Chains A and B, each alone.
Chain A
Amino acid sequence: MVDPIVVAIVVIYLLATVLIGYYSRVRLKSAMDYYVAGRRIGSVVNGLALESTYLSPASMLGLPAFIFLLGYPFWWAMVAIICGMPLATLLTAVALRKYAPVSYADYYADRYGDERLRWWIGIVLILGTILYITISLVGMALFMVAILKIPYLLALTIGTVITMFYVVYGGMIATSWNAAMQALVMSFSAMIAAAAIVWQLGGLEGVYYAAHASYPRIWNTPADFPEIPHVFTGAWIAIICWYFVWHLGFATMPYTVVRFFTVMDLKSARRSIFWCALIAGAFYVSLQIIGITAKYMIEKHHPIAVAAGGNMTAMAVLTQIQKTYGIGTIVDYSMIAAVEALGNPVILGILCAGGLAIAMSTAAGWAVVINTVIARDWMVKLLKWKKAEERPIFYGRLIAFIFLFVSFLVSIAPPALVLDLSGWAFIVIICSIGPGLILGLWWKRATRTAMWFTAIFMFILSMIAWMRAYFILGHHARFFLNDILFANPNALITPHQVWVIPVGFIVFVIVSLLTKPVEEERVQKYCVELTKEV
């Protein structure tokens, strides 16, 4: 039986989302409003929106699960994710706001003087959109199934319909305001749960000793070899690779980069990252606390473990939960189970609302990126389709609807591969189109051929490497040639084949040096005017 307080909190959150979506339509007057919120978003709203859009259910469910499995060293990966946020300020955010494009692909087409780049950027984004919206919808449903105890399909439908309503109806304006509200809900939900855990365990020392009691190796690092918490965090090279795997995403990922197009001025672009780092840092500290104590909390206080007389391991409890609901992996439930162990319906209700918030904002963020690229870039700029030019908002809405609907269909029975692939989608965007974005601004010698070559070559290379690690070596965290080079599948740990990021930059530089630079006026505009005094 679900506590009515839990249901009431979730209903209030869903109503607030619908209301913000509904009232946003009043401000929606032109295609520019639909695509970039009329460039009227302030720094606080944009900062909050950046946080909730960038951080997906992979953060809220996945990172505590990673800590649960890999121990304390994984905290360093989370440090790098938040530290990567300020990097975007001077690297891409201000320069791109000065340029003020409408779509993510505008920059590439204009900087490299090739409209056809819009096709390839669009293809990469279609892939990212479907994978990310799918993982968001599944994460959203998982929260509702595990906390509200409703059937998976019903949960999926509720989440998709509400997201569809406000994205399709209100475009970037509704997405921005809802994402800001969602950032507060999701961050507060994790903070209140972490605070309750710290309180219950008697302070930070209590947290340390409780985690240690549940797994004596949990605080160990590679320096304690062979007493390491996990083979994936057992060597310093693994720690360095975990540190960098998601580090540059904030500066290059389309769903964050487009948020810099929506702010009112350069000052707001810079300051929005401050607000984002502030709230995201607090959110991540909370996830670290929940993740490190999850094993202890589940084994000592979860109702299933208590009913079994306190003799169940956390894994056994999670296995039982996963068998009951049948979706996701066993450790996906570690965060929810740790909070359930607190036995507080208010905290559980807020957590469920937070889970829905983080998932909806990411799904919506991708939907607004893709509707601009397809409805404006492909239909109007490349195909010169008159109807799309005359009715831009209608076609933007149609595209957002189609992508949310397709992702909904994929989410009904999501193969494990699809959910894992979102990690690859993240890396492929950074390694294939990230070098062209950053070096296109900061290196005069960046060439059109290098952009094309890196975008296609790194897409294929990262896909082959990731697939080989996943299917042949059993996990994306293993370097894809471990068996051939070292005859040991665990010789090198390179999560999501993170090495492709520096390789992408090196390939871009080499090809640029060997090929003809773009026209001088483009170089002047991008590498001098836009980067001057950022």
Chain B
Amino acid sequence: MPWPPKVFWVGLIIMYGSAVLGWTLEAVAKMNKIAPLPILYTSIYSTFLLPVIIATLYFFFPERAEAKRAREAAAREAKKAEEVKKEG
């Protein structure tokens, strides 16, 4: 069965975890009543920084994996060519 890469689930946990943590702190510690905290954690962190961080994770890790695969493929090719050369 196809399954999204691990980094997808990490991003999902960070995203929903942040929301649930924010709601919990609002309910328990009344964080929303402290000026200007809600502007900092809901607006600047959750609306701006968090999506940018997750979007970065979602291109950085797949690209790193792609580069690694490309390096491995190149190494295999080189090895193969060397073997052919030796045999020849």
Candidates A79, A86, A94, A219; contact of B47 at CB < 8 Å: A79
Contacts of B11 in A (CB 8 A): 86-87
Contacts of A497 in B (CB 8 A): none
When the two chains form their complex, are residues B38 and A219 in contact, meaning their CB atoms are under 8 A apart? yes
Q: A75-B43, A442-B4 are in contact. Are A90 and B48 (CB under 8 A)?
A: no
In chain A, positions 256-295 with a C-beta closer than 8 Å to chain B are 267, 270-271, 273-274, 276-278, 280-282, 284-285, 288-289
User: Taking the complex as formed, is B79 at the interface, i.e. its CB lies under 8 A from any CB of chain A?
Assistant: no
User: Taking the complex as formed, is A91 at the interface, i.e. its CB lies under 8 A from any CB of chain B?
Assistant: yes
When the two chains form their complex, are residues B51 and A527 in contact, meaning their CB atoms are under 8 A apart? no
User: Taking the complex as formed, is A521 at the interface, i.e. its CB lies under 8 A from any CB of chain B?
Assistant: no
When the two chains form their complex, are residues B19 and A243 in contact, meaning their CB atoms are under 8 A apart? yes
A359 to B56, CA, bound (A): 28
Main secondary structure of the interface of B (DSSP, over half): helix
In chain A, positions 214-259 with a C-beta closer than 8 Å to chain B are 219-223, 236, 239, 243
User: Taking the complex as formed, is B44 at the interface, i.e. its CB lies under 8 A from any CB of chain A?
Assistant: yes
User: Taking the complex as formed, is A99 at the interface, i.e. its CB lies under 8 A from any CB of chain B?
Assistant: no
In chain A, positions 69-94 with a C-beta closer than 8 Å to chain B are 72, 75-76, 78-80, 82-83, 85-87, 89-91, 94
When the two chains form their complex, are residues A83 and B27 in contact, meaning their CB atoms are under 8 A apart? no
When the two chains form their complex, are residues A528 and B2 in contact, meaning their CB atoms are under 8 A apart? yes
When the two chains form their complex, are residues B30 and A282 in contact, meaning their CB atoms are under 8 A apart? no
A87 to B55, CA, bound (A): 8
Q: A75-B42, A79-B42 are in contact. Are A444 and B2 (CB under 8 A)?
A: yes
Q: A83-B51, A221-B26, A533-B69 are in contact. Are A273 and B58 (CB under 8 A)?
A: yes
When the two chains form their complex, are residues A83 and B50 in contact, meaning their CB atoms are under 8 A apart? yes
When the two chains form their complex, are residues B52 and A274 in contact, meaning their CB atoms are under 8 A apart? yes
Contacts of B28 in A (CB 8 A): 223
When the two chains form their complex, are residues B38 and A274 in contact, meaning their CB atoms are under 8 A apart? no
Q: A207-B36, A281-B48 are in contact. Are A89 and B59 (CB under 8 A)?
A: yes
Contacts of B5 in A (CB 8 A): 90, 534
When the two chains form their complex, are residues B2 and A441 in contact, meaning their CB atoms are under 8 A apart? yes
Candidates B27, B36, B48; contact of A208 at CB < 8 Å: B36
When the two chains form their complex, are residues B39 and A204 in contact, meaning their CB atoms are under 8 A apart? yes
When the two chains form their complex, are residues A270 and B58 in contact, meaning their CB atoms are under 8 A apart? yes
Candidates B4, B27, B33, B36; contact of A534 at CB < 8 Å: B4
Interface centre among B27, B28, B62 (most CB of A within 10 A): B62
B34 to chain A, nearest CB (A): 9
Interface centre among B4, B42, B43 (most CB of A within 10 A): B43
Candidates B26, B59, B62, B65; contact of A223 at CB < 8 Å: B26
Q: Interface size on B (CB < 8 Å)? A: 45
Candidates B1, B2, B47, B55; contact of A273 at CB < 8 Å: B55
Q: Interface digits, A417-458 against B, CB 8 Å rule (1 contact, 0 not)?
A: 000000000000000000000000111100000000000000
Residue of B with least CB distance to A284:
B47
B22 to chain A, nearest CB (A): 8
Residue of A with least CB distance to B54:
A86
User: Taking the complex as formed, is A205 at the interface, i.e. its CB lies under 8 A from any CB of chain B?
Assistant: yes
B71 to chain A, nearest CB (A): 15
User: Taking the complex as formed, is A531 at the interface, i.e. its CB lies under 8 A from any CB of chain B?
Assistant: yes
When the two chains form their complex, are residues A442 and B48 in contact, meaning their CB atoms are under 8 A apart? no
Q: A209-B35, A278-B52, A441-B2 are in contact. Are A90 and B62 (CB under 8 A)?
A: yes
When the two chains form their complex, are residues A90 and B51 in contact, meaning their CB atoms are under 8 A apart? no
A367 to chain B, nearest CB (A): 28
B77 to chain A, nearest CB (A): 19
Contacts of A243 in B (CB 8 A): 19
When the two chains form their complex, are residues B58 and A205 in contact, meaning their CB atoms are under 8 A apart? no
Contacts of B3 in A (CB 8 A): 442
When the two chains form their complex, are residues A285 and B62 in contact, meaning their CB atoms are under 8 A apart? no
When the two chains form their complex, are residues B36 and A204 in contact, meaning their CB atoms are under 8 A apart? yes
When the two chains form their complex, are residues B46 and A270 in contact, meaning their CB atoms are under 8 A apart? no
User: Taking the complex as formed, is A386 at the interface, i.e. its CB lies under 8 A from any CB of chain B?
Assistant: no
Interface centre among B11, B12, B35, B51 (most CB of A within 10 A): B51
User: Taking the complex as formed, is B78 at the interface, i.e. its CB lies under 8 A from any CB of chain A?
Assistant: no
Q: Interface digits, B2-34 against A, CB 8 Å rule (1 contact, 0 not)?
A: 111101100110010001001100111010110
Contacts of A444 in B (CB 8 A): 1-2
A-contacting residues of B (Cβ < 8 Å)?
A: 1-5, 7-8, 11-12, 15, 19, 22-23, 26-28, 30, 32-33, 35-36, 38-40, 42-44, 46-52, 54-59, 62-63, 65-66, 69
Known: A204-B35, A205-B36. 7 other contacts (CB 8 A): A75-B47, A90-B4, A90-B5, A221-B27, A221-B32, A274-B56, A289-B43
- Which are the 9 A-B pairs with shortest beta-carbon distances? A281-B48, A208-B35, A270-B59, A204-B36, A223-B27, A531-B2, A89-B58, A277-B51, A274-B55
26 residue pairs bridging A and B, Cβ less than 8 Å apart: A75-B42, A79-B46, A82-B48, A83-B51, A90-B58, A91-B8, A203-B36, A207-B39, A220-B32, A223-B26, A223-B28, A239-B23, A270-B62, A274-B56, A277-B54, A281-B47, A282-B48, A285-B44, A285-B47, A289-B39, A443-B1, A444-B1, A531-B4, A532-B2, A533-B65, A534-B4
